[in-house]
Amino acid sequence: MFSCYGESSRKRKCVPLNNNVKKVCFNEKVDICATPSNSKEFTMANFPDHMFHIGEMIFISVNTFQKHTRVHIRVYAADDRGILHPTKSGVSLKPEVWSALHSKLSCFRPREDFESAFIIKKDVCVFKHSDKDNVSVGIQRIFQRKDSSFQFVPERVLLNGDNLDQLHDSYELVLKCVKNKLLTYTLSEYVMAEVDRLPEIDSFYYDVDSPHGLHELFESLYDIVLPEIHECMNVSKRDCFDVYFERALYNIDWQALAVDFVSLNKNRPYIKFFSDDMFDLMEIENVFKKVEDMYVNDYALDLLPSLEFLD
C-alpha cells in the first residue's frame, strides 16, 4: 500500500508502506476493514455468497487454495449453536470437471440402466442407485494409475432427485462465482508472485485523483486474456463463443497468463503498487463482457476445420 502527501490537485509522491498493515477500504464494495473476525462462521440462515444450498445439509461451494479454484459438493453438519461445519462426505472438483459433471447430470436418465456407472474427465465416477420410486446418484472421486486402471479415493457424496434439480438450477450462480475466483484469486496470486520478481521501486509520481495506471493495467489484462480465449476456442461466431467460452476459460494456463501480463507491464512502475488492489476493485463481469465484445467484433480469427480438441 502507499501513503500520499500534498494537495489533491497536484502530483503526489507515493511511498510504499508496510504491506502487513491492514488494507485500506477504497469504497463500499471493498469494505475489507468491516469484515467481522468471526465471518467464517455461518448457519443455515446466513451463509456466504460462494455457497449454494441444494437441499438437506448439502452445499455447493466455490473455494480457493494454493492458487487453485475448486468447486465442492459437500455435506455439512450443525453444532449446538447452529454453526455449520463441512464433513468428509463430499467431493472437490476442478472447474472443468464440475462443468462436465453438470452437463452429464443434466441429460442422463437416473431411472434407466439401474446400478450403472460412468466416468467423467478421468476424475469422478457417477453411480446410479435409483429405483422405480427414488432417484439417487453417487459421485465419487477417482484417479488413474500408470497402468490406465482407476482407483477410488474416499471423497464421495450421495444426491437425491431434489438435490440434482437444485444443482442444475444453481449452475449459473456457481459459474459466476468460479469466474470471479479465477480472476480475483487464482490469477491474482500468480500475478503477485511474478510482480515480486520485479526490481524494487522506492517511489514514483502519479496523479492520485486520476490513477490512469490502474486503467492501463485493466486494458492490458483484456489484451492478455483475449488471446488465451482465442487459443482455447479458435472460433469467431457469437453463437460459438456462447457455446465454447466456458471450456476455453477452464483451459487457460493462469500462471502463464500472469507471466505474460506482468511482462507486458514490467516497465510501468505502478504495477508494484496496484497489482493487488486492481483485483479487489475489478468488476469481474465487465472484464468478461469486454473480452467477449473484443472477441466477437474486433478480433480476426482463422477458423479451424475441426473443434474435436475441445471435447
Helix axes 161-169, 95-107, angle to 10 degrees: 120
pLDDT digits (tens, 9 = 90+) for 120-136: 999 999 988 877 778 88
Nearest partner of 92 among 180, 178, 155, judged by Cα: 155
Residues of the chain with pLDDT > 70, as a percent, come to 73
* Residue at 194: amino acid letter: E
pLDDT digits (tens, 9 = 90+) for 116-175: 788 999 999 998 887 777 888 999 999 888 888 889 999 999 999 999 999 999 999 999
Helices within the chain (DSSP H only): 95-107, 161-169, 171-181, 188-195, 212-233, 238-250, 254-265, 271-274, 277-281, 284-293
pLDDT digits (tens, 9 = 90+) for 2-37: 333 333 333 333 434 333 333 333 233 323 233 333
Half-sphere exposure in the Cβ direction for 233 (13 Å, CA): 28
- What is the C-alpha separation between 120 and 301, in angstroms, rounded? 31
Please report which confidence band the pLDDT of residue 234 belongs to, taking 50, 70 and 90 as the band edges: low
pLDDT of 311:
38
Radius of gyration of the chain (CA): 23
Residues of the chain with pLDDT > 90, as a percent, come to 41
Strand-pair category, 204-206 with 12-16: antiparallel
**pTM for the full predicted model:** 0.71
**Contacts for 199-207: CB closer than 8 Å, 24+ residues apart:** 200/272, 201/16, 201/269, 201/272, 202/15, 202/16, 203/13, 203/14, 203/15, 203/16, 204/14, 204/269, 204/270, 204/273, 205/11, 205/12, 205/13, 205/14, 206/11, 206/12, 206/14, 206/270, 207/11, 207/12
Tell me the three state secondary structure of residue 74. strand
Beta bridge partners of 50: none
